[in-house]
Structure formats: structure tokens, C-alpha cells
Amino acid sequence: MHGPARGPAVIIRAALCPCPPLLARELTGRDPIVSGLREACAEAAARLVAADPDILIVVGPAPETAGWDSASRLDLSAFAPALGATLEASGTPGLPLSLGLGVLLLDQAGYSGPRFLQAVGEQEPVGRCTELGDKLAASAARAALLVMGDGSARRSPTAPGHLDERAAPFDARVERAIRAGDLAALAAVDATLARDLMATGRPAWQVLAGAMGAERPMTEILYADDPFGVAYLVADFEAAPNGAGQAGAS
């Protein structure tokens, strides 16, 4: 699946953030909630921007694999009609949730450089995902990647998908792989099990695995918790210098 030879470390930095609607501050009411999660996402986005990439690519799961207009935004009124149709003026279609929240994070981080928005289909098999990641990596000399995706939504009796005993070990394996910079382990996540566990981030993780190649990036976990029964993971990935990658401590 590897194309023509390309320069090393084309993805100079990547971040993984979850994509629950509650990341949009307007949707959650008066009380400050999930401030730790929001701060971690902001930190991850800020690190991407600070890396000064030629292009920032947002990847997130959606019903279909497709590129989206980089001027598009999330239509919050789809979740809260009282907010009004915020996109009517722009004339662009509303983004899928994952990409919309990724764009929101970039906007909040003050990023105004080139961006590319890539949805990856929820049903895409692993091979298609890693291939897509490989293509994205080759799209610019110095690209950064913001990957949006969640772990299992079946982690407790009050979780959206109720409790599935397989959820905790599944998410723990994903977290361990990311902590170790072991992207091959992400590529090996079973799509059927992920679907059963409502782990919607699976195809996006596998795009990340394809994009960062075989080298182990240095990683840092900025947030890992499940306050509402869904596994939220925020992580920072820095390409290993000169391809001599090794896992970073977290």
C-alpha cells in the first residue's frame, strides 16, 4: 500500500480528540462542565498549531468517506434548535459532527492556515483506513493531523449504550497502544468488536495509524476518562526525529 518513496516524517504532529457534541460550549447550558476535557482538547490543538504545519488535516468518522469544504462549519442548531440556523448565511452545508468539532477546536486555537477536512466512513475496513492515512500524509511536506474519535460508549449502566463488559478492556488496549506509540496495534483493532462497543473512533484511529506509518511517534496522553460512560481520550503525537522513533513517556 506504500506509494513512491517520500520524505520522512511527513506528519510532523498529530492529535487525537474525542468528538461528543458537549465539546461545543453553547450546547451544554449554564454550568461549566467537562472543563478538564475541554482544556486538554485545547492544549492538543494548540500544540498542532504551534508545530506550524503547511496544512492541518482534520480526520473524523462519518457515514461516508468524503472530503469536505474547508470553509464549512458545524451546524449547532441540529443539536439545539434554539440556537438558530448558524450556517444559513455561509451557504455551506453543515459538517459531520466529528469534523465540525475538529474545526471548532482549530478555530478556538486561533488557527487560520490551510486546512483539509477528511471524513472516513464508519464502515470502512482497516485497509481502506490506513491507505487513506497514507495518502493524506503524502499530501504535503509538513502536515499535521487532528484525529477525532471516541472509545466505547458502553462503559457503564448509565452509558448511552448501557454496560458491555468488553468495553473496559477494549479501551484499555487502545490507550496502552497510544501511550506506547504502537500505531500497529491501533491498525489491528477489530472493526466488528469496535462497532459492537459503539467505539466510533475506530476508523479514524486507523487513518492515524496509516498516516504516521511504522515509526513509533512520541506520545503524551492529555486526558483519559469516561465521565458519562463514553471513553474520551486526548493524546498528542510527535513524529520521531529522523525516523528513529520510540515511545515517549506519558
Partner 1 sequence: MDDRATCGPGPLDSLGPLGPPGAQREPGILRLGRQEFPAGRLLVMAIINRTPDSFYRPGITWHETAAMERVHTVVAEGADIVDIGGVPAKPGTEVTVDEESDRTIPFVEAVREAYPDLVISVDTWRHEVGRAACAAGADLLNDTWSGWDPKLAEVAAECGVGLVCSHTGGQHPRTRVFRRAYADVMADVLDRTLTLAQRAVQAGVDPSRILIDPAHDFGKNTWHSLEISRRLADMTATGWPVLVSVSNKDFVGETLGAGVDDRLAGTLAVTSVAAWLGARVFRAHHVEQTRQALDMVAAVKGDFRPARVLKGLV
Which residues lie near partner 1 (CB under 8 A)?
20-22, 27-31, 33, 79-80, 82, 153, 160, 227-230
CB of 143 to partner 1, least distance (A): 31
- CB-nearer residue toward partner 1: 39 or 190: 39
CB of 97 to partner 1, least distance (A): 10
Residue 171 Cα to chain centre, angstroms: 15
Q: Which amino acid is at 237?
A: F
Q: Is 221 exposed, middle or buried (0-12, 13-18, 19+ CB in 10 A)?
A: middle
- CB-nearer residue toward partner 1: 102 or 133: 102
CB of 87 to partner 1, least distance (A): 19
CB of 24 to partner 1, least distance (A): 8
- CB-nearer residue toward partner 1: 99 or 159: 159
CB of 229 to partner 1, least distance (A): 7
- CB-nearer residue toward partner 1: 5 or 30: 30
- CB-nearer residue toward partner 1: 112 or 158: 158
State how far the Cα of 195 lies from the Cα of 23, in Å rounded to an integer: 23
DSSP per position, 196-247: HTT-TTHHHHHHHHHHH-SS--EEEEEEEE-TTSS-EEEEEEEPPGGG---P
Torsion of CA 94, 100, 103, 105, to 10 degrees: 140
Gap between the terminal Cα atoms of the chain: 31
- Beta carbons of 76 and 26 less than 8 angstroms apart: yes
